[in-house]
Amino acid sequence: MKDFYDVLIVGGGPAGCGCALSLHESNLQVAIVDKESFPRDKVCGDAIPGPTFKVMDKINKNWGVALRNFADKEEVKTSRAFVPNGQSFSINWKGYSYNSKRIHFDNF
Ligand SMILES: Cc1cc2nc3c(=O)[nH]c(=O)nc-3n(C[C@H](O)[C@H](O)[C@H](O)COP(=O)(O)OP(=O)(O)OC[C@H]3O[C@@H](n4cnc5c(N)ncnc54)[C@H](O)[C@@H]3O)c2cc1C
């Protein structure tokens, strides 16, 4: 690492990475530090919902494409939710979304 940065982001999860990616064209020297060594896993439902891609498109169209083409995923078209009395209902998603284990997604 260099000795000096303009911005130091603590935590390399989606928030830290989103912040760093947003600063990509700022000409600022940006570093992310994380207490874990990547790839690292994290408790999560692993759903990468539609707005994620819209946000990435806004930051950089090419990265939005890269995020959609990411390989370690299972595309999600339907989710089934269960309520405490055992009944369930399904949601059919219109937008694109996928599930990806955080160990893979955050490392990407
Ligand atoms: C059970 C569960 C299920 C979830 N399911 C979903 C889901 O399906 N879809 C969805 O979109 N969201 C889901 N979420 C929410 C999602 O996990 C969070 O919104 C997201 O991880 C927040 O991103 P973040 O970058 O703020 O934090 P994190 O992803 O927690 O990343 C924080 C990073 O900071 C690092 N860190 C922490 N402390 C320090 C320190 N002192 N020094 C250096 N590094 C540090 C950690 O190692 C970690 O890498 C779920 C959350 C939970 C708890």
Those residues with Cβ within 8 angstroms of residue 37's Cβ, 6 or more apart along the chain or in another chain:
none
Do 46 and 99 belong to one domain?
A: yes
Counting every residue, how long is the chain? 108
- Cβ atoms of 52 and 65 within 8 Å: the answer is no
Q: In the predicted model, what is the mean pLDDT of residues 71-87?
A: 95
Phi-psi region of 67 (alpha: psi -120 to 50; beta: other; left: phi over 0): alpha
Count of structural domains within the chain: 2
Nearest-CA neighbor of 104 among 70, 72, 56? 72
- Cβ atoms of 102 and 46 within 8 Å: the answer is yes
Do 1 and 50 belong to one domain?
A: no
Do 53 and 17 belong to one domain?
A: no
Do 49 and 96 belong to one domain?
A: yes
7 CA from centroid of ligand 1 (Å)? 20
Start-to-end CA distance of the chain, whole Å, equals 20
Residue 89: its pLDDT value, please?
97
Q: Whose CA is nearest to atom 20 of ligand 1?
A: 14
What pLDDT digit, counting tens, does each position of 2-56 carry?
A: 889 999 999 999 999 999 999 999 999 999 999 999 999 999 999 999 999 999 9
Do 55 and 106 belong to one domain?
A: yes
Q: Whose CA is nearest to atom 36 of ligand 1?
A: 11
Do 59 and 77 belong to one domain?
A: yes
Q: Whose CA is nearest to atom 34 of ligand 1?
A: 11
Do 24 and 52 belong to one domain?
A: no
Do 10 and 46 belong to one domain?
A: no
What range defines the domain where residue 74 resides?
41-108
Question: CA torsion sign, 48 to 75 to 93 to 56?
Answer: positive
Q: How far is CA 106 from CA 3, 49, 58, in A?
A: 26, 15, 19
Do 14 and 48 belong to one domain?
A: no
For residue 72, pLDDT beyond 90: yes
For residue 1, pLDDT beyond 90: no
Do 54 and 94 belong to one domain?
A: yes
Q: In the predicted model, what is the mean pLDDT of residues 58-77?
A: 96
Residue 35: its pLDDT value, please?
98
Residue 19: its pLDDT value, please?
96
Do 107 and 61 belong to one domain?
A: yes
Do 52 and 87 belong to one domain?
A: yes
Task: Fill in the amino acid letter for 46.
Answer: D
Residue 40: its pLDDT value, please?
96
Q: In the predicted model, what is the mean pLDDT of residues 57-68?
A: 96
* Whether residue 8 has its Cβ less than 6 Å from ligand 1: no
